[in-house]
Amino acid sequence: MTDKIVKLMAALKDAKDKSKLHLTKRKLAAGKWYYIKDSSQTPHKWFAIGTQDEQIARRVHTELTSSVAYGQSEVGAIIQLNLGKLDRDMRDRTWGDVHNHYVNREGLASKTTNGYRSCWKVAVSVLRDVKVVETTRSQLTNLYKESKGGNQKYLKNLYNHAKGEGWLINQNLITPNEWVKWKKTTGGTTASITDEQHFAIIAAMEKDLANWDATKYRMRRRDKQTTAEIKSVFEVLWEIGGSNADCRELTTDNINWESGHIIFKRKKWKAMGKGNKRTRQAIHFPMSQKLKDIILPYYNTANKDGGGYLFPITALWRSDDLTRVLYAYMGVAGIPRTVKGEDGQELRIIIHSYRYRMAEHLFEIGATEKEAKALMGWRSHWVMQAYSKGANMNIPALDVMAEERGRNRVINIAKVA
């Protein structure tokens, strides 16, 4: 309805004599519909209001024949708000309706719609019963700032969908630049996972695998083979400190048995590389014997010719799917989702906690800054220059490095009382 009002405003803004804009109704096959007739022109012109409701039609006629200049002015927005309140669809539409319309569009893959519903359930559903025409800028921006990255993106998509459908009273309620301005800062709230926590999770999974009972909820949700694969992914995360996608999406092409390395480029580099001609060297992560033992069975059954995934089930998952399994077995092992840091700050244990743990581990076993940056894929101005020389550092496996440097045990340093 709002789109039609805007078009009427544009069509009638230059009318020579607004006193000759008459409200009339025409009998059509679909019933009686209201029009505005411009009798100042020959032949007369008819403009459809798009309603059969006399109350709405009279309000539209009154507003459009007023001498006030509408356009994109504040007054124009108020007029559109009044009209929207009279339009039953505009008046009653909630963000829950917008969400349902958005996720039920034709052509969307089930994986995509599941992702949308997950974002809605986790963060955006607080808007479920909020009417679109009554939504304020602060309601959306405050929710945006409080949400995580994926949920932020969905909220923005939902807003743009409502805007595209013409359901917003103010089409510039939030400008594109403002979404970027309030981009949520990340980091600083994640704890590294400890040895005790990781091995307690693995032990809980091994116990389930040894005593598989499909009647239990966490086992009913996935089969034994999937759980075994997830356990292996967690073990790879522990061994190389990669991210969720880095480890889930490893392929046979990433494994070099001759040199004993996993060679991969981090998944986040693809997104960061848009419009950037600078390239990053792949990480050459030396495999410990434990890592080789984990990977070998999956390598032997993977499709070698096509560079098949080592973990074909979880490779196709969303990152949140793996996180849910981690949380499930953290619960079984009695591990809380948050811990308090030394400064009292509450920190989360998530999949990325494995990456934090590796960073600390490299420091503990005496790796140099250059070695740590090469293994973790970090880059600064100086590291970039070192990489541009094409030098590949020869770094031994971590267990070998720890043994050689006498750091195979973590030295406990007494803390100041």
Same domain, 162 and 73: no
Query: Beta-carbon neighbour count of residue 239 at 10 Å?
Result: 23
Same domain, 175 and 42: no
Same domain, 355 and 392: yes
- Let me know how many helices (H) and strands (E) the chain has, helices first: 20, 8
What CA–CA distance (Å, rounded) separates 282 from 359? 18
Mean pLDDT taken over the chain: 80
Q: State the pLDDT at residue 25.
A: 84
Q: Is residue 72 part of a domain?
A: yes
Helix (H) or strand (E) holding 367: none
* Position 68 pLDDT exceeds 50: no
Q: State the pLDDT at residue 67.
A: 52
The amino acid sitting at 275 is: G
* Position 342 pLDDT exceeds 90: no
Q: Is residue 42 part of a domain?
A: yes
- Reported as a single tens digit per residue, the pLDDT across 173-210 is 887 777 876 665 545 688 889 999 999 999 999 999 99
Which of 70, 91, 112 is the C-terminal boundary of a domain? 91
Higher pLDDT, 163 or 342: 163
Contacts 24+ apart (CB under 8 A), 209-218: 218/328, 218/329, 218/332
Q: State the pLDDT at residue 79.
A: 57
Domain total for the chain?
3
* Position 355 pLDDT exceeds 50: yes
Tell me the pLDDT band of 251, cut-offs 50, 70 and 90: very high
List Cβ neighbours of 170 (8 Å cut-off, separation of 6 or more).
Answer: 77, 80
Backbone phi, psi, residue 45, to 5°: -110, 140
**Domain of residue 120, CATH code:** 1.10.150
Q: Which parts of 70-194 fold into alpha helices (H)? A: 74-86, 88-92, 95-103, 110-122, 137-146, 149-164, 176-181
Angle between helices 149-164 and 110-122 (to 10 degrees): 100
Q: What is the token pair recorded at 301?
A: 């059954």
Q: Is residue 411 part of a domain?
A: no
What CA–CA distance (Å, rounded) separates 66 from 56? 16
- Reported as a single tens digit per residue, the pLDDT across 81-136 is 565 555 667 778 899 999 999 998 888 888 788 888 888 887 788 898 998 888 88
* Position 386 pLDDT exceeds 50: no
Virtual torsion, Cα 134, 137, 141, 142, nearest 10 deg: -70
Same domain, 247 and 155: no
Same domain, 300 and 352: yes
Tell me the pLDDT band of 285, cut-offs 50, 70 and 90: very high
Which of 39, 74, 91 is the C-terminal boundary of a domain? 91
Same domain, 245 and 329: yes
Tell me the pLDDT band of 371, cut-offs 50, 70 and 90: confident
Same domain, 85 and 101: no
What CA–CA distance (Å, rounded) separates 163 from 165? 5
Q: State the pLDDT at residue 31.
A: 80
Q: What is the token pair recorded at 283?
A: 């990480």
What CA–CA distance (Å, rounded) separates 23 from 2? 18
Indicate yes or no: pTM above 0.85: no
Three-state DSSP string of 175-210: CHHHHHHCCCCCCCCECCCCHHHHHHHHHHHHHHHH
Q: State the pLDDT at residue 330.
A: 96
* Position 230 pLDDT exceeds 90: yes
List Cβ neighbours of 205 (8 Å cut-off, separation of 6 or more).
Answer: 227, 230, 231, 234, 329
Same domain, 84 and 149: no
Q: What is the token pair recorded at 184?
A: 């949520």
Q: State the pLDDT at residue 234.
A: 97
Of the candidate ranges 34-38, 166-170, 218-222, 273-277, the one whose mean pLDDT is the lowest: 273-277
Q: What is the token pair recorded at 138?
A: 């602060």
Q: State the pLDDT at residue 345.
A: 81
Q: State the pLDDT at residue 207.
A: 96
The answer to whether 300 and 171 are in contact (CB under 8 A) is no
Q: What is the token pair recorded at 36?
A: 């505005």
3-state secondary structure of 21: strand
Percent of the chain with pLDDT over 90: 31
* Position 252 pLDDT exceeds 60: yes
The answer to whether 313 and 225 are in contact (CB under 8 A) is yes
Q: State the pLDDT at residue 406.
A: 74
Q: Is residue 189 part of a domain?
A: no
Q: State the pLDDT at residue 240.
A: 95
Q: State the pLDDT at residue 36.
A: 83
Q: State the pLDDT at residue 5.
A: 62
The answer to whether 234 and 201 are in contact (CB under 8 A) is yes
Q: What is the token pair recorded at 261?
A: 């390395």
Q: Is residue 27 part of a domain?
A: yes
Q: State the pLDDT at residue 106.
A: 82
Cα separation of the two ends of the chain? 69
Same domain, 81 and 215: no
Same domain, 203 and 330: yes
Q: State the pLDDT at residue 198.
A: 97
Q: Is residue 417 part of a domain?
A: no
Q: Is residue 412 part of a domain?
A: no
List Cβ neighbours of 155 (8 Å cut-off, separation of 6 or more).
Answer: 119, 123, 124, 140, 143, 144, 147
Q: State the pLDDT at residue 63.
A: 65
Mean pLDDT across 381-407: 60
What CA–CA distance (Å, rounded) separates 50 from 90? 14
Tell me the residue range of the domain where 267 lies: 195-404
Q: State the pLDDT at residue 56.
A: 74
Which of 36, 57, 91 is the C-terminal boundary of a domain? 91
Highest mean pLDDT among 33-37, 107-111, 212-216, 408-412 belongs to 212-216
**Domain of residue 348, CATH code:** 1.10.443.10
Same domain, 268 and 313: yes
Q: State the pLDDT at residue 237.
A: 96
List Cβ neighbours of 337 (8 Å cut-off, separation of 6 or more).
Answer: 327, 330, 348, 349
Q: Is residue 291 part of a domain?
A: yes
Q: What is the token pair recorded at 116?
A: 């949308």
Same domain, 264 and 363: yes
* Position 391 pLDDT exceeds 50: no
